[in-house]
Amino acid sequence: MVETRLIDGKAFAEGLRKRVASDVTAFHAATGVTPGLAVVLVGEDPASAVYVRNKGKQTVEAGMASIEHKLPATTTQAELLALIAALNAEKDVHGILVQLPLPGHIDAQAVLATIDPAKDVDGFHVVNAGRLAVGLDALVPCTPLGCVMLLKDRLGSLSGLEAVVVGRSNIVGKPLAQLLLREDCTVTIAHSRTRDLPEVCRRADILIGAVGRPEMIRGAWIKPGATVIDVGINRVDKPGGGTRLVGDVAFDEAQGIAGAITPVPGGVGPMTIACLLQNTLTAARRQLGA
């Protein structure tokens, strides 16, 4: 039995947001420019609406401008592309985020391809994904960036460690694997076709769940002492009625086995927003050549 430490993403994110806010103040003093983040939400998905509201609030708290565009679910792809073109041309907008998922009649890849890579604070444009893959400066996806910050804070160097990422999406799993490779981890990416997933997970010094299946990763899959990062955000029914959030890892089972683990909520989620603010400042700096 080991004592399992809690990785407090909420507290780390608060500290990061404060550092970004003070950097924003210095940037404004030097340039006279207030970094601006435009968030585009298409449709009425209630979970997305809450997330967009939180982002807007934290953007303003960090001293930046928040520009929200809420479009009806019936918006055509052509209308959305026209809005993005206008935001690309807008000098006061330094970052553009189009909330995913988009309604089914809109081609998300076409939308992401239209965002100016210099304003792509999600890091989802192929130019940023490619730059990350070949080791050039890029805008890096927020959730993977937040995960690696938490890991380095806890472990220091990640060099030589076995990292297993469960999930291969373009927004979490793949870019996270790239970042871990850049930190000199030995990286395995597992997915729905992986044979003997429990055995693959048991190799991991660093185990990441980015699947979207409530508590799928069991305690017995975790190598004793491993550092576990739970990216999953899953809303499940509570026995007495109502709902609660759980991750992709069976948190209670991990106690006494994992060396450290992020909780859900209060782990990776708050880091995603803090990294979005940091990316917005980075994008503004680069656009001003600062």
Ligand X SMILES: NC(=O)C1=CN([C@@H]2O[C@H](COP(=O)(O)OP(=O)(O)OC[C@H]3O[C@@H](n4cnc5c(N)ncnc54)[C@H](OP(=O)(O)O)[C@@H]3O)[C@@H](O)[C@H]2O)C=CC1
Residues that bind ligand X (CB under 6 A): 143, 166-169, 171-173, 190-194, 197, 210-213, 231-234, 268-269, 272
100 contributes a contact to ligand GUE by CB under 6 A: yes
Catalytic-residue membership of 99: yes
Instruction: Pick from 23, 122, 183, 248 the residue near ligand GUE by CB under 6 A.
Output: 122
Instruction: Pick from 103, 212, 214, 265 the residue near ligand GUE by CB under 6 A.
Output: 265
Give strand ranges (E) for 62-118: 65-71, 95-98
Evaluate whether 123 touches 139 at the Cβ level (below 8 Å).
yes
214 contact choice in ligand GUE, ligand X, none (CB below 5 to 8 Å, kind-dependent): none
232 contributes a contact to ligand GUE by CB under 6 A: no
Q: Please report how close the Cβ of residue 54 comes to ligand X at its closest, in angstroms.
A: 11
Nearer to ligand X, 91 or 193 (CB): 193
66 three-class SS: strand
55 contact choice in ligand X, ligand GUE, none (CB below 5 to 8 Å, kind-dependent): none
Handedness of CA 208, 213, 215, 219 (dihedral sign): negative
Evaluate whether 119 touches 276 at the Cβ level (below 8 Å).
no
Q: What is the dihedral of CA 241, 247, 253, 257, to 10 degrees?
A: -160
**91 token code pair:** 């000098």
Q: Please report how close the Cβ of residue 217 comes to ligand X at its closest, in angstroms.
A: 9
Please tell me whether 167 is known to bind a ligand. Answer: yes
In terms of Cβ atoms closer than 10 Å to its own Cβ (0-12, 13-18, 19+), residue 148 is buried
User: Which residues does the annotation mark as catalytic?
Assistant: 55, 99, 122
